[in-house]
Amino acid sequence: MSTEPQQQTTSQPPRSLRVDNLVKEYVAGKPILSNISFEVSGKSSVAIIGPSGTGKSTLIRCVNKLIPPTSGDIYVSGENITRLRGAVLRRARRKIGMVFQEFNLVERLTVMENVLCGRLGYVAPWRAWLRRYPQRDIEMAFTLLESIGLIDFVHQRADSLSGGQRQRVGIARAIMQEPHVLLADEPTSSLDPKTSVEIMELLVSLTETHRIPLIINIHDVELAKRFTTRIIGIARGGIVFDGPPAELSNAHLKEIYGGENWLQ
Amino acid sequence: MSTGETRSHGNPFKANWLVRAGWLLALLYAMYAANLLDISLSRFVDGLGNGAKFLGEMVPPNFSRWKLLVDNLVETVEIAIIASAFGILISLPVGLLAARNLMPTWITWPFRIFIALCRSFHPVIFAILFVKAVGFGPLAGILTLIFASIGFIGKLFAEAIEEISLKPLEALRAAGAPFMSVIIYAVLPQVLNRFIGFSSYQLDANLRNSTMVGIVGAGGIGGTLFSAFQRFDYDFLAAILISIIALVMISEYISVQIKKVFQ
């Protein structure tokens, strides 16, 4: 595919994310996440499942430091980004793409402008302001929009799109960053079941062609099993399951979500 | 009870005696104050007679000194436009730095105080201060209206920014966008329409205020207006008032057109 990032060559190590003993306490002494460790690399899609309020969103936001972790280390393609601040942190964040539950697009900007927002970390503010993006970025945006079926919407404002189309724009924006890992925070929760499946398909196929490891927060266990190759179950702040979907049994689900009547 | 209906619940709307007492107190005070200031019906009726005489002397309006009038109007418009331009330009960063959702408290505090200071005086008081500081003339008027503009639209800008959705900001921060790019891409598009509305409203207000600052010597048509008053030049006064009305109506029309363009 022509949208494939150019710096990715076979000689480089695969893109990866490693989380080491991550702890997050909003209130001292009451960790919402305790000692979370996992590693994702290459072409793999990982679903993080768990009940609401268990800290899935916190975990994902600790990775790109939108929420500062209390302790632990985060490595993106080998670089420890945990203690970075200011401009260095911003440069590290370019390597972490993020897709949001409520899309988080700029409603009053066009689809093209929203997609190019993914390049803001690379482009000087004055150039971005004058919309003078490098030609390479523009070509990449068009190719990407073509591949996600939104080429006819380039000049439409984001607020004129449907939910599924908005999430496609959100995904394109994240891919534009040429990230080393893609985080998706409940990407289907605001969508209907059919659109949810389409969005999951798109996420998995795009990250596979671009060889970006994918981490998805999702509460829909069936979708997780269907589209990912690995599932991490979180309950009470810790990892209670980590393995392929086939190994996820009802006993595990009972441990993750509690209760059992819903499993019938 | 007496009607025989069952009554298991009391009246859910309790009478608030404190509020009723408050209203009564306000009424009593208004009557007392009117008495104290010697406001009475007979004085009002006498005043009506004077008013009619005054209005009679205003007709027909005297436009013979139209050159002076035009010169003054041009100066008034210049004061308003220059003051609006600088006022808006300064209000943009001031409003941003005063927005509590984007800036830490130690930054918003001084800027909120600055805006509050600009708001705390009526333009006439500012005009008196600036006439003392920089002397008679339009410069004092311009400075006055710059501060008045900051006090008004600086506050509105800050409030508009505080009402934006933070979701796109989160996305752009997560993408590693520098601060200025976040402002340009995630904040500006959300507030631009309202900023243009506030700004054209402020230009309108500045036009009206710039006709007034001249009364204390800060330039514009107000000075001529005031001296026409003092010389009992009521027909010329009428001409001035009519041209001010025309000016404000024209500016109203222009600002409607501006808003249409940016819809």
At B111-131, the pLDDT tens digits run 999 999 999 988 999 999 999
DSSP notation for chain A = -TTS-SS--TTSPPPEEEEEEEEEEEETTEEEEEEEEEEEESS-EEEEE--TTSSHHHHHHHHTTSS--SEEEEEETTEE-TT--HHHHHHHHTTEEEE-TT----TTSBHHHHHHGGGTTTS-HHHHHTT---HHHHHHHHHHHHHTT-GGGTTSBGGGS-HHHHHHHHHHHHHHT--SEEEEESTTTTS-HHHHHHHHHHHHHHHHHTT--EEEE-S-HHHHHHH-SEEEEEETTEEEEEE-GGG--HHHHHHHH--SGGG-
Asked if A191 and A163 count as a contact pair (C-beta separation under 8 A), the reply is yes
Tokens matching residue A202: 């798109």
Tokens matching residue A232: 């991490």
For chain B, the 3-state helix, strand and coil shares in percent, each to the nearest 5, are 80, 0, 20
Mean pLDDT score of chain A = 90
Cβ within 8 Å, pair B185-A128: yes
Mean pLDDT of B17-23: 92
Per CB-CB distance under 8 Å, the chain B contacts of A113 are 185
Q: pLDDT tens-digit profile of B153-163?
A: 999 999 999 99
pLDDT value of residue A4: 46
d(Cα A206, Cα A147) in Å, to the nearest integer? 9
Closest-approach residue (CA) in chain B for A65? B174
Cβ within 8 Å, pair B184-A129: yes
B213 within some domain = yes
Percent of chain B exceeding pLDDT 90 equals 51
Tokens matching residue A170: 């959100």
Looking up residue B187, the CATH number of its domain turns out to be 1.10.3720.10
Per CB-CB distance under 8 Å, the chain A contacts of B189 are 106-109
pLDDT value of residue B3: 56
Specify the pTM.
0.82
CATH (residue range A16-263): 3.40.50.300
- Highest mean pLDDT: which of A258-262, B3-7, B116-120? B116-120
pLDDT value of residue A113: 96
B136 within some domain = yes
Q: pLDDT tens-digit profile of B225-260?
A: 888 888 888 889 899 999 989 988 888 888 888 778
Final residue in a domain of this structure, among B33, B58, B83:
B58
* Total residue length of chain A: 264
- Residue A12 reports pLDDT greater than 80: no
Nearest to A109 among B170, B174, B189 (CB): B189
- Residue A120 reports pLDDT greater than 80: yes
Closest CA to B75 of B201, B217, B181, B194: B217
Verify that B24 and B138 share a domain, yes or no: no
Q: Are strands A30-41 and A16-27 parallel, antiparallel or unpaired?
A: antiparallel
Verify that B22 and B136 share a domain, yes or no: no
- Residue B146 reports pLDDT greater than 80: yes
Q: What residues of chain A, 189 to 228, have a C-beta less than 8 Å from chain B?
A: none
Mean pLDDT of A41-68: 90
Helix (H) or strand (E) holding B234: helix B234-261
pLDDT value of residue B91: 96
Delimit the domains of chain A by residue range: 16-263
Verify that B49 and B171 share a domain, yes or no: no
Verify that B112 and B222 share a domain, yes or no: yes
Amino acid at A65: K
Closest-approach residue (CA) in chain B for A86? B178
Which of B164, B169, B173 to substitute to test the interface with A, most A CBs within 10 Å? B173
Cβ within 8 Å, pair A123-B184: no
pLDDT value of residue A1: 42
A·B CB contacts under 8 A: 82
Closest CA to B69 of B176, B197, B225: B225
pLDDT value of residue B232: 85
Cβ within 8 Å, pair B185-A93: no
Binned at pLDDT 50, 70 and 90, residue A264 comes out as low
Closest-approach residue (CA) in chain A for B166? A104
Tokens matching residue B116: 């509050």
Verify that B98 and B141 share a domain, yes or no: yes
Binned at pLDDT 50, 70 and 90, residue B4 comes out as low
Mean pLDDT of A129-154: 95
Tokens matching residue B191: 């507030």
d(Cα B134, Cα B32) in Å, to the nearest integer? 44
- Residue A153 reports pLDDT greater than 50: yes
- pLDDT higher at A47 or B258: A47
Verify that B120 and B208 share a domain, yes or no: yes
pLDDT value of residue A99: 96
C-alpha neighbours within 13 Å on the C-beta side of residue B87: 36
Closest CA to B241 of B217, B211, B219, B218: B211
- Residue A87 burial (CB count, 10 A): 10
B166 within some domain = yes
Verify that B97 and B29 share a domain, yes or no: no
Closest CA to B191 of B146, B145, B153: B153
- Angle, CA B72 vertex, CA B67 and CA B77 arms, to 5°: 125
d(Cα A18, Cα A76) in Å, to the nearest integer? 7
**Predicted ipTM of the assembly:** 0.90
Cβ within 8 Å, pair A177-B177: no
pLDDT value of residue A3: 46
Asked if A234 and A246 count as a contact pair (C-beta separation under 8 A), the reply is no
Verify that B52 and B77 share a domain, yes or no: no
Verify that B113 and B165 share a domain, yes or no: yes
Domain that holds residue B83: 66-261
pLDDT value of residue A13: 73
- Residue B206 burial (CB count, 10 A): 32
Q: What is the domain count for chain B?
A: 2
Nearest to B175 among A105, A125, A177 (CB): A177
A67 touches chain B (CB under 8 A): no
Which of B166, B167, B182, B193 to substitute to test the interface with A, most A CBs within 10 Å? B167
Verify that B107 and B27 share a domain, yes or no: no
Per CB-CB distance under 8 Å, the chain B contacts of A129 are 180-181, 184
